[in-house]
Structure 1
Amino acid sequence: MSQITNPILPGFNPDPSIIRVGDDYYIATSTFEWFPGVQIHHSRDLIHWKLIGHPLSRKSQLDIKGNVDSGGVWAPCLSYDNGTYYLIFTDVKSHFGGFKDTHNYLVTATDIKGPWSEPIYLNSSGFDPSLFHDDDGQKWFVNMVWDHRKGKNRFGGILLQEYSEAEKKLVGPIKNIFKGSELGLTEAPHIYKINGWYYLMTAEGGTRVNHAVTMARSRSIEGPYEVDPENPMLTSANKAHLTLQKAGHGSLVETQNGEWYLAHLCSRFLYPSERSILGRETAIQKCEWSEEGWLRVVGGKHGDAQVKVQAPNLPEHPFVKESPLDDFENKELNIHFNSLRVPIEDSWASLTERPGFLRLYGRESLNSLHRQSLIARRQQAFNINVETVVEFEPDSFQQLAGLIYYYNTKNYYYLHVSHDEDLGKCIGILSNTKGIYDEPSEGRLSIDSWDRCYLKAEIREADLQFYYSSNGTDWIKLGPILDATTISDEHADQFVNGYILDQGFTGAFIGMCVQDLTGRNLHGDFDYFKYEEIE
């Protein structure tokens, strides 16, 4: 019997929304401040998955320049009805303190690979929106409502309103249909109609170690909803022995053969730090319906999230393994590359100005929420080797180019080429940890006679070691072993007296970047990028 190995989407692929269209399965996941917006993965067997696209690829669809760290696209919901794909998403402008600015939109397409439409604005009352297509043709929009008032339940329940496809807007009364269970922090609503019941699936407990999937049901879409008596139906809370922690935020799909599977968020810790450098990932569990009509995880005691899961009765459909090397010979960037907040455009990232190279024009600093020249990809395994080579001729200490290991504007390590008044062209390491700048090495070293500089990072779970080379063969260590776990959700979180100063929801990225703080836009040319996962 074939097995699924979790997580199915490793490395910063949270908040899964799964659907089946014919024999094809698709999962949409959150992308936050990274552009383009929303990842779509494809499978035909629930075992093997392939990234096939990003629906929000134009600034007119997603304008997140200036959005806060871990803002941007939260919890997309993918659905399909009568030949059309629907994608609902939240653009989060701010999320610290009492208030959250959360704007909800809808885009559509007749092909999963696009083109996707311009967005239709829906509302701003909360986040985690989804769209339910009822069997009578009505469409219903749900989202959690955020209550900023002191002394109130900030997660104020699940709002329901009808969506008019003809008018392209929400219409009719707004009703709060579910205030949540005793677990609290009720979010991520999805509605399913099965055997005459409306099932409301939510996430509760918060998206950290107490995360959970809750089920409730009603004969009417407006409620009242009764909560599963064995609630929650999936959680890792108080189960430190489980590999998959933070289990919650689920989405349900039925196979062609009547089998049921739950895609859900999870995370894997490094110990003893209990930090997750790969961020929140996507796993899947096989489920069945009890005699009383409640969803249960197959083989998981008390809703445990399992690493090995029985695969559905479908032919296996593996995909061709991707090459670890990108030599920048193609006309378009590798689908795994993302930029921060703004589209990748020839004005600052070009594959054509020098064929065979990625040319990045230096813009703002790594602290910027607006115009960074940074191209990176997710870290998707605990043990990786990454290398690149850059040609860069700085004449100022304000010009930098190199290899970046990045979480957000306050947490990163940067192996870079720059200029020093005494050393000329030089190489060094700089870092930011909870917003505190540092240079964690013996200082800059001169490479003044080098035309190009090869850069490498070796990550072995919690350990990060940088290297540099003049020829790509003879590697020299630079700096000490660094703590890779600072590039994690848990390290990014900062609370003082219960007040959120900073909070992270993403994961580790590694890639290339150039800064020119003089404003002269000096460019760096990268000849290749190699990302290799180590067994």
Structure 2
Amino acid sequence: MKIKNPILPGFNPDPSIIRVGNTYYIANSTFEWFPGVRLHSSKDLVHWKLLPSILDSKELIDMTGDPSSGGVWAPDLSYADGKFWLVFSDVKVVEGPFKDCINYLTTADNIMGPWSKPIKLDATGFDASLFHDTDGKKYLVQQTWDQREYKNTFNGITLTELDSNSLRLLPQTRKVIYKGTDVKVVEGPHLYKINGYYYLFAAQGGTSWSHQEIVARSKSLVPGSFVIEPGAPFITNFDTPDFGLQKQGHGSLVNTPDDEWYYASLCGRPWHHKNESSWDPRGWCTLGRETSIQKVEWDSENWPRIVGGHGGLINVPSPKVGTAYSTKKRNNSRYDGFSSSRLDNEWQTLRQPFTDKLGYIKGNKLILKGNQSLSSIFDVSLLASRWQAFNFDATTKIKYDPYSYQQMAGLVNFYNDKHYSWIFITYDEQTNHKVIEVAQNDNNVYTSFLKEKAIEIPENCEDVWFKTCVRKYHYYYMYSFDGKNWQKVPIDLDAAILSDDYVMQTSGGFFTGAMVGLASVDCTGFELPAEFDYFDYKELDEKLL
């Protein structure tokens, strides 16, 4: 049996992996999406099960007003003293000289919760992790942010002791233990004690094509004592441009009950248009930053090395021991008929929980109240889940009765508040009819494609079916008035616009991935509801297209 990469397809970056007994857990960043911290478990590192997210209430995380790609960064999951520990950042600023990130700590006796009310730790920098030393001491290890314009903003890795009783940091113990290399942008630190050495794993080079992970070690935690691993970086794809996985770096280490070692890393799978080079730029990662796993062996000098070379492998040898959750072929297709009052774990909302403020489920229908536009960073009635394949169809059935062009509801493909598109029902005041429109926001340039040629909905038609067809390089929308006969809206949209790599050209916040979902907007302020009957996400085999 092999581990097939990526193990967590779609927007699942910054993996923090641990093992408790014979179960592995991975926590991933969720940024502005609620609930915070995506969580998976596995028995064999091959098959992964999605668990409820950890930060599932406003008491645990309040992201109101957080910018796109702000919010929950790089959660660190650990297990010590008979309980789970989670450190996470809530980032309030993503662009400019300041970050304004707050680091919190929450604990739980059980991975399923309940989790304690978060304790504020500090705001020194992001990507904080908790190290439990063998002598019982605990330390917060983190990237250090420097706002001074004459310094590099990534100012090394800071270590601060945590009082085990009060769970408060001891500021007087703070010290920078590692400054990084000339590659710069050192971040995402994790500290381990193995065979008498402190091993520091840290990312550098930024989270794009030059991303990499380095390893340094020391016999003590004295500043300046860490020695860098000789040779190439521990893992990188900077010099493997033709490999199927790119951007590998930021991640964490885990060992099996049989003392085999593995490294979970973020990664990307770019594609490129036919008229573009596959090397520079390397393409567009519409599925965002995903999670890969690579096997690790220790060389004769006790340095960790990636099996297969520092670029990694697609198919990785699995552990000798492990019991699979399932042997079914992996496919993330799903159907939601809204038969439960509780949303399934794949759904996420923007910045706040799904409450009556946004909508509710009643009589096997999802009711979304009309709220602010998709360009808002406050009250947005958008229920979305990840693109997890390059080719898929997503379908819904909607009942909606707008009386103003400011009222819109439909099916959305979404990256952030400046990059999205949708097909929706609205009202045309010129014809006094409900119509179908398709629109796109491209870096805040909003385009209504149909305009005066918007598709008129027949008078006797109560329900409308919408479908989006994503075909790796492009995607389009379809509609139906009976759920059987479909018409394509003759507009092909460039999928690259919904990628990290496109957004990073104009924004400092480019860390999520494309999402697909359902939305209701009412700019009149009267909260007109839209009724959705179901959501069907069906992944397609690229070979059959």
Q: TM-score, normalised by structure 2?
A: 0.94
- Which of 339, 344, 352 is equivalent to 1:334? 344
The Cα shift of 1:441 comes to 3.9
- Residue 90 of structure 2 is matched in structure 1 by 91
Matched, 1:375 2:386: no
Partner of 2:247, secondary structure, is: strand
The Cα shift of 1:334 comes to 1.4
Q: Pairwise mapping of residues 50-199 of structure 1 onto structure 2 (< 5 A)?
A: 50-171=49-170, 172-199=172-199
Letter in 1 for 2:340: N
Q: Deviations over 1:127-176 (max 9, x none)?
A: 00000111111111111111111221211001101111311210142100
- Residue 425 of structure 2 is matched in structure 1 by 417
Distance 1:503 1:85 in 2: 30
Q: Pairwise mapping of residues 28-67 of structure 1 onto structure 2 (< 5 A)?
A: 28-67=27-66
Q: Pairwise mapping of residues 196-345 of structure 1 onto structure 2 (< 5 A)?
A: 196-223=196-223, 224-272=225-273, 274-300=283-309, 303-319=310-326, 324-345=334-355
The Cα shift of 1:322 comes to 6.6
- Residue 459 of structure 1 is matched in structure 2 by 470
Partner of 1:184, secondary structure, is: coil
Partner of 1:491, secondary structure, is: helix
- Residue 481 of structure 2 is matched in structure 1 by 470
The Cα shift of 1:316 comes to 4.2
* Higher normalized strand content (fraction of residues): 1
Partner of 1:75, secondary structure, is: strand
The Cα shift of 1:231 comes to 4.0
Distance 2:123 2:366 in 1: 39
| 1:34–1:339 Cα contact (<8 Å) kept | yes
Letter in 2 for 1:91: D
Distance 2:336 2:440 in 1: 26
CA RMSD of aligned residues (A): 1.3
Distance 2:94 2:527 in 1: 32
- Residue 517 of structure 2 is matched in structure 1 by 511
Comparing 223-232 and 151-160, the one that deviates more: 223-232
Distance 2:147 2:269 in 1: 32
Letter in 2 for 1:380: Q
- Which of 470, 495, 501 is equivalent to 1:484? 495
Return structure 1 stretches of 4+ with deviation > 3 angstroms. Answer: 318-323
Distance 1:441 1:276 in 2: 28
Q: Figure out how many residues of one structure are paired with residues of the other and give that number.
A: 525
Comparing 219-228 and 370-379, the one that deviates more: 219-228
The Cα shift of 1:205 comes to 0.7
| 2:32–2:351 Cα contact (<8 Å) kept | yes
Q: Pairwise mapping of residues 327-406 of structure 1 onto structure 2 (< 5 A)?
A: 327-352=337-362, 355-406=363-414
| 2:138–2:162 Cα contact (<8 Å) kept | yes
The Cα shift of 1:202 comes to 0.1
The Cα shift of 1:385 comes to 0.5
Distance 1:252 1:502 in 2: 28
Question: Where does structure 1 lack aligned partners over 5 or more consecutive residues?
Answer: 496-500
- Residue 279 of structure 2 is matched in structure 1 by none
Comparing 471-480 and 102-111, the one that deviates more: 471-480
Letter in 1 for 2:538: E
- Residue 530 of structure 2 is matched in structure 1 by 524
Distance 2:395 2:313 in 1: 34
Distance 2:515 2:312 in 1: 26
Distance 1:315 1:124 in 2: 40
The Cα shift of 1:440 comes to 2.7
| 1:46–1:311 Cα contact (<8 Å) kept | yes
Distance 2:143 2:508 in 1: 22
Distance 2:50 2:159 in 1: 32
Letter in 2 for 1:515: V
Distance 1:502 1:155 in 2: 15
The Cα shift of 1:250 comes to 2.0
Comparing 418-427 and 35-44, the one that deviates more: 418-427
Distance 2:379 2:447 in 1: 22
Q: Deviations over 1:73-124 (max 9, x none)?
A: 0000000002110010000000201111111001111111111111100000
Q: Deviations over 1:45-90 (max 9, x none)?
A: 0001111121101111111111111100000000000211001000
| 2:70–2:509 Cα contact (<8 Å) kept | no
Partner of 1:62, secondary structure, is: coil
| 2:188–2:203 Cα contact (<8 Å) kept | yes
Question: Where does structure 2 lack aligned partners over 5 or more consecutive residues?
Answer: 277-282
Partner of 1:485, secondary structure, is: helix
Q: Deviations over 1:236-255 (max 9, x none)?
A: 00321111001100200000
Distance 2:457 2:321 in 1: 56
